[in-house]
Amino acid sequence: MAEYAHRGHTVTELRYHFVWVTKYRYPVLRGEIGLRAREVIRQVCEAREMTIIKGVVSRDHVHLYVSAPPHLAPAQMMQWIKGRSSRRLQEEFAELRRRYWGQHLWARGYFCATSGAVTDEMIQEYIERHEGRGPDPDFRVEVPE
């Protein structure tokens, strides 16, 4: 069983799988650039309380599996990671500044899927075991007898 994060008045386990690509899928994340991209992504995640579970920097895209606190939205996480890494990498590598003269290293979109220790089937089974009455079988109200 996974470890839950205990913060203040909440106990959570929120995990996200992100994938994003370089603009035009140019294979620029090789060698020193790939290593530096990994380091910058680690720094951003650490600063924003995100824990990297697994990740890989490929030639033209990045896979990142992270655990995050509940106050962070996935869109916000991607904004920080993509924004900071693009800026830092272009500041440090002249070849990226020449190739991406519009200052956009990453393509506009990204993929995001959630993951966790509890499956959809487990949640539905847990809810089904509770007694309830009402016209809506998918959202019942427990009524004491």
Task: State how far the Cα of 34 lies from the Cα of 139, in Å rounded to an integer.
Answer: 48
How many CA atoms lie less than 13 Å away from 39 in the CB half-sphere? 9
Say what the pLDDT of residue 139 is. 67
133: β partners? 141
Say what the pLDDT of residue 86 is. 97
Which residue, chain included where needed, has tokens 């979109």?
109
* Mean pLDDT over each residue of the chain, to the nearest integer: 88
34 close to 22: Cβ distance less than 8 angstroms: no
Say what the pLDDT of residue 119 is. 80
Say what the pLDDT of residue 1 is. 47
Task: State how far the Cα of 15 lies from the Cα of 33, in Å rounded to an integer.
Answer: 27
The CATH architecture one would assign to domain 5-117 is 2-Layer Sandwich (3.30)
Say what the pLDDT of residue 40 is. 97
Q: Helix, strand, coil % (nearest 5) of the chain?
A: 35, 25, 40
Task: State how far the Cα of 127 lies from the Cα of 107, in Å rounded to an integer.
Answer: 41
Kindly state the greatest CA–CA separation across the chain.
73
Which residue, chain included where needed, has tokens 């690509």?
21
pLDDT, mean of each 10-residue run, the chain (145 residues):
78 92 96 96 96 94 94 97 97 94 92 84 77 61 59
Spell out the domain ranges in the chain. Answer: 5-117
Task: State how far the Cα of 138 lies from the Cα of 121, in Å rounded to an integer.
Answer: 14
